[in-house]
Structure 1
Amino acid sequence: MKTATIYNSDLHFEHKQWESELAFWKDELKTFNDRLGELQTRWTDKDVLAQLEHYQNEFILHGNVIEDLQETIEKHELNISEHSNDKADSMDVPMFNTHTEIREKMEIQRQIYADLKKNFFRFLSKYM
């Protein structure tokens, strides 16, 4: 059985991709909150306002998840950098397992965020 080598540079590249994606989500949430503000000035219906509050809470929660992921990635990137300073080009198994866990969290969050956006856009098309 052949063993694959995972290079730190490959993991760093993936971190950069994740960081860009998270920054985009964070910026997008600002725009979504602006849309909520517009709707709050247009509607007085309690059901609509309850939905606005629901989305506002969802955006806050997702913003917290973004911050947690950013912090996790930053810590892992620091570990990789320290590992690289030890003149090692590849990562050990425990560090790779951590990377894999972060990757899985990102994949799950992508789906959660995509569903949130889809539902929010339906909501906007109904009440904008």
Structure 2
Amino acid sequence: METTVINNSDLHFEHKLWESELAFWNDELKSFKNRLSELVTRWTDKEVLAQLERFQNQFMIHGNVIAEIQETINKHEMNISRHSESMDVPMVKTHTDIREKMETQRQIYADLKKDFFQFLSKYM
């Protein structure tokens, strides 16, 4: 039976990539919220305003998910720092779970951005 060794430095590197991606999403969300503010002042149509509110809610939800993922990464990073060179199976599982959450959020966020850009092209 072959044993695979996963080094802490590899996990740390992936954490840094995720943290950069999450920071980028946060910056984008700020820009998107500014766009929403501009549109609220331009439109009085109830249907358009309802869509603006939906996007506002989605941006808030995504912001909360970003914060949750960041907290999970930070906790995992602290766990990693307490271990020597490699991880045990449960810690690797935690890392894999975070990776899956990031992949899921990438897709959700990409879909949200696509919808928002379509909305902007229609109402800006």
TM-score by shorter chain over 0.5: yes
Gaps of at least 5 residues in structure 2 are none
Question: TM-score of the superposition, structure 1-length normalised?
Answer: 0.95
Match of 2:118 among 113, 116, 122: 122
Across the aligned residues of Structure 1 and Structure 2, the Cα RMSD in angstroms comes to: 0.6
Gaps of at least 5 residues in structure 1 are none
The residue type equivalent to 1:127 in the other structure is Y
SS at match of 1:90: coil
Alpha-carbon shift at residue 4 of structure 1 (Å): 1.6
The residue type equivalent to 1:75 in the other structure is K
Instruction: List per-residue Cα deviations over 1:71-110 (Å, max 9, x = no partner).
Output: 0000000000011xxxx21110000000000000000000
> What is the percentage of aligned positions where both structures have the same residue?
75
Instruction: List per-residue Cα deviations over 1:33-76 (Å, max 9, x = no partner).
Output: 00000101111100000000000000000000000000000000
After TM superposition, the structure 1 stretch with the greater mean CA deviation from structure 2, 50-59 or 1-10, is 1-10
Q: How many residues align?
A: 124
Structure 2 Cα separation of the partners of residues 5 and 111 of structure 1: 30
Structure 2 Cα separation of the partners of residues 33 and 102 of structure 1: 27
Extract structure 1 runs of 4+ deviating beyond 2 A.
Answer: none
Question: TM-score of the superposition, structure 2-length normalised?
Answer: 0.98
